[in-house]
Amino acid sequence: MSDNTDIKQVTVISGKGGTGKTSLISSLAYLLQNYSILADADVDAADLYLIFSPEKSEKTDYYGTKKAVIDFDKCTKCMKCYESCRYGAIDQELNIEIVRCEGCGLCKHVCPVDAITMIERVSGNYFVSDTRIGKMIHARLVPGEESSGLLVAEVRKKALQVAKEKNKSLVLIDGSPGIGCPVISSLSGSHLAIVVSEPTISGKHDLERVLELLKQFNIPGFIVVNKSDINMEITQEIEDKFEKDFPVIAKIPHNHIFTQAMIEKKTVVEIDSEDKSVKDIQETIENIAKLILEKLKISNKNTF
Ligand code: SF4
Ligand code: SF4
Domains of the chain by range and CATH? 4-63+124-295 (3.40.50.300), 65-120 (3.30.70.20)
Which protein residue has the closest C-alpha to ligand 2 atom 2?
A: 111
Other C-beta atoms closer than 10 Å to the C-beta of 49 total 15
d(CA 304, CA 90): 57
Residue 290 contacts by C-beta under 8 Å, 6 or more apart in sequence?
A: 300
Name the DSSP class of 121: -
Which protein residue has the closest C-alpha to ligand 2 atom 6?
A: 81
In three-state secondary structure terms, 47 is helix
Among 66, 87, 120, the mutation site with the greatest number of ligand 1 atoms within 8 A of its Cβ is: 87
pLDDT in tens, the chain (304 residues): 445 668 999 999 997 767 789 999 999 999 999 999 999 998 877 789 999 999 998 999 998 888 999 999 999 999 999 999 999 999 999 999 988 898 999 999 999 999 999 998 888 899 999 999 999 999 988 877 776 788 899 999 999 999 999 999 999 999 987 777 888 888 988 999 999 999 999 999 999 999 999 999 999 999 999 999 999 999 999 999 998 999 999 999 999 999 999 999 999 999 999 999 999 999 999 999 999 999 998 877 656 6
**Which residues does residue 250 pair with via DSSP β-bridges, in sequence order?**
224
